[in-house]
Amino acid sequence: MSDAEPDASDDGAVDAATSDDPAADGETIVLEGRSVVGGYVEAEALVTEGTISGWGGVDPYEGTIIETRHELTGECFTDKVLVFRGAKGSSGWSSIFHTTRLADTAPAAMVYEETTTKVALGAVVTRAPAVTDLDRDPTEVIDTGDLVAVDGDAGTVTVTKRGD
C-alpha cells in the first residue's frame, strides 16, 4: 500500500491520521480525543469553523445561532452534534446552554477544538456527551450533515460521511 492510500481496518474504518483524501460517502472516520461529558449519542452534525458566543449568540429557547455575521446564523442545533472551534465572549455560556437543556433545545452532543472554562462548563451543564482535544481538527474532518457518533465515555468521535 502506498503512503497516499487510506489505512482501512477490518471494520471498514479509515485511520484519519493517514488519509489525506476527502472521505467518500458512507466512509467511516474515527477521531480520538478527551472526554468532557460522558454518554453516547448518534446524530447529524452541524459544523462551524468559527467560535460561538453564548451570551447574545444563541437563542436558548429556539436552539438557534442568532449571532450577527456568524456563518450559522438562523441554524438550529437542537438534537444535532454541534461541532465548533470553541467559545467566545463572556461567561454566559453556562447559563445559556443550561437553559437549552431546560427548554429541550440543547444539542445532542458537542465536539470542539479549543477548550476554555466557558465551553467546558457549558458542555457540563448541557449534560450532553462532549469530546475535545481530538487527534485531528473536527471542523476540518466533519461536515454538516455527516452522521456522528459521540462516545463521551471513550473520548471518541465516529464520523460516517454523507455525500453532498
* Catalytic-residue membership of 53: no
Beta-carbon count within 10 A of 34 CB = 12
Q: Which residues pair with 64 in a beta bridge?
A: 59, 76
Q: Which residue has the cell 440543547?
A: 106
Choosing from 2, 19, 90, 91, which is the catalytic residue?
Answer: 90
Measured at the CA of 30, the angle between CA 14 and CA 21, to 5 degrees, comes to: 45
Helix (H, G, I), strand (E, B) or coil at 74: coil
**Whether 52 contacts 67, CB under 8 Å:** yes
Residues annotated as catalytic are 90
